[in-house]
């Protein structure tokens, strides 16, 4: 596992990355099922409208994806593996998970920021538990979304209650992952 | 517009990193570019398939009527049902918050509302299909979803008893 930045595995890849694998087939099957459903239940017009919209959106997303992947690929070279491993590696305990969760909650940006970051950090020495804590910190406590979106729709006391109740979970989920998937090797 | 700002910020971040690396470890650059090319090639078909598929599925789900369901079943059943609805509510940064707000106006109880919003935050199937599976892989996505499954249910049930 050490020196992963030097060998041929891609950052954070959990499985050998074949271009066509189960996950792509799954996505395509789901898409085809959805497409058939829309075509017959909503009509061809809606089908083409959605297809056009999503294709344009995905295309517009591409430069962002490439930039995110570049960052994820560069991260393992930028920060020393020892420091990452000490901070959020497998032996970092709940403090490491707290650091990871806080990073996920504080770093602004959507999925094309947080996932490459988690991926890059996992390639640079963070363990699976820390990766789960980063993503969980972002989805449950992400300050950007909570402050901008959630507060504009829901009453402040409900938002605060949800935030406080969710506070321990990214750490707990990271701990549970470390316990349950101890043998997970990236 | 959001995409543009995000793209520019990420591009600046990437350029800064690369500039720094070109001075400190120039021999790492070809390796980084190879990885980037491989990962991008891996991701592009998945992003397209995920976004298009999620777009179709979202059109088939009657989410605009979700708030009707909040009042109909109470207690633990209501929390479980709200969790399911939250997981099935498609993406966007605020969709579930908007639905939660109108459910609240329509008299929804706190426990199912909390379960609904939390479940959406955790699972959001558009995001999982298009982004998480592509970036993190099937295994990471599956593990995160499995360990997170109890969270909205615990929160909802907690609010039922306090």
Å from A65 to nearest chain B CA?
Answer: 8
In a domain, B31, yes or no: no
- Substitution target from B2, B4, B5, B6 for chain A, most A beta carbons within 10 A: B6
The residue segments making up the domain with residue B139 are: 41-161
B84 contacts B103 by C-beta, under 8 angstroms: no
Neighbours of B30 (CB within 10 A): 9
In a domain, B3, yes or no: no
A51 contacts A43 by C-beta, under 8 angstroms: no
In a domain, B33, yes or no: no
Q: Which residues of B touch A11 (CB under 8 A)?
A: 35, 39
pLDDT for B63: 62
pLDDT for B1: 60
B89 contacts B128 by C-beta, under 8 angstroms: no
pLDDT for A2: 35
Per the structure, how many domains does chain B have?
1
In a domain, B20, yes or no: no
A147 touches chain B (CB under 8 A): no
Ranges under pLDDT 70 in chain B = 1-2, 62-69, 71-74, 91-93
Q: What share of chain B is helix, strand, coil (3-state, %, to 5)?
A: 85, 0, 15
In a domain, B57, yes or no: yes
The per-residue pLDDT for range B86-108, each reduced to its tens digit, is 888 876 667 788 888 878 877 78
Of B50, B117, B135, the CB nearest to A162: B117
SS3 for chain A is: CCCCCCCCCCCCCCCCCCCCCHHHHHHHHHHHHHHHHHHHHCCHHHHHHHHHHHHHHHHHHHHHHHHHHHHHHHHHHHCCHHHHHHHHCCCCHHHHHHHHHHHHHHCCCCHHHHHHHHHHHHHCCCCHHHHHHHHHHHHHHCHHHHHHHHHHHCCHHHHHHHHHHHCCHHHHHHHHHHHHCCCCCC
Q: What are phi and psi of B61, to 5 degrees?
A: -90, 130
The per-residue pLDDT for range B126-148, each reduced to its tens digit, is 888 888 988 898 889 999 999 99
A87 touches chain B (CB under 8 A): no
In three-state secondary structure terms, B77 is: helix
In a domain, B156, yes or no: yes
Side-chain-side CA neighbours of residue B141 (13 Å): 20
Å from A177 to nearest chain B CA?
Answer: 7
Which chain A residue's Cα is nearest to B46?
A24
Show which of residues 58-117 on chain B sit within 8 Å of chain A, judged by CB atoms: 59-60, 93-94, 97-98, 100-101, 104, 110, 113-114, 117
pLDDT means per 10 residues in chain A (186 residues)?
38 56 82 93 94 91 87 84 89 94 87 88 92 96 86 89 96 95 64
A69-85 burial, b at 16+ Cβ within 10 Å, e below that, comes to bbbbbbbbbbeebeebb
In a domain, B48, yes or no: yes
In a domain, B32, yes or no: no
A119 touches chain B (CB under 8 A): yes
């Amino acid at each position: 596992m050490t020196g992963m930045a030097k060998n041929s595995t891609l950052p954070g890849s959990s499985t050998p990355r074949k271009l066509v694998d189960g996950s792509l087939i799954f996505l395509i099957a789901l898409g085809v099922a959805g497409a058939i459903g829309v075509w017959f239940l909503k009509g061809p017009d809606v089908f083409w409208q959605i297809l056009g919209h999503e294709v344009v959106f995905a295309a517009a997303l591409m430069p962002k994806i490439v930039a995110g992947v570049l960052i994820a690929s560069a991260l393992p070279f930028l920060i020393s593996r020892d420091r990452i491993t000490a901070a959020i590696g497998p032996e970092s305990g709940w403090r490491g998970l707290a650091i990871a969760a806080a990073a996920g909650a504080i770093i602004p940006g959507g999925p094309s920021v947080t996932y490459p970051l988690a991926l890059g950090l996992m390639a640079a020495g963070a363990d699976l538990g820390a990766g789960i804590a980063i993503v969980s910190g972002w989805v449950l406590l992400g300050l950007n979304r909570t402050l901008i979106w959630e507060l504009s729709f829901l009453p402040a006391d409900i938002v605060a209650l949800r935030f406080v109740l969710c506070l321990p979970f990214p750490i707990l989920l990271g701990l549970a992952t470390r316990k349950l998937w101890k043998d997970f090797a990236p | 517009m959001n995409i543009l700002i995000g793209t520019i910020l990420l591009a600046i971040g990437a350029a800064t990193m690369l500039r720094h690396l070109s001075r400190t470890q120039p021999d790492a650059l070809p390796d980084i570019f190879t990885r980037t090319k491989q990962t991008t090639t891996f991701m592009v078909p998945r992003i397209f398939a995920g976004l298009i598929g999620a777009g179709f599925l979202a059109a088939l789900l009657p989410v605009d009527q979700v708030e009707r369901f909040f009042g109909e079943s109470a207690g633990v059943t209501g929390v479980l049902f709200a969790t399911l609805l939250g997981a099935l509510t498609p993406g966007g940064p605020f969709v579930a918050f908007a639905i939660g707000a109108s459910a609240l106006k329509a008299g929804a109880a706190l426990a199912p509302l909390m379960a609904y919003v939390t479940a959406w935050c955790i699972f959001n199937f558009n995001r999982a299909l298009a982004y998480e599976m592509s970036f993190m892989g099937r295994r990471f996505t599956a593990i995160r979803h499995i360990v997170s499954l109890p969270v909205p249910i615990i929160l909802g049930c907690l609010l039922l008893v306090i």
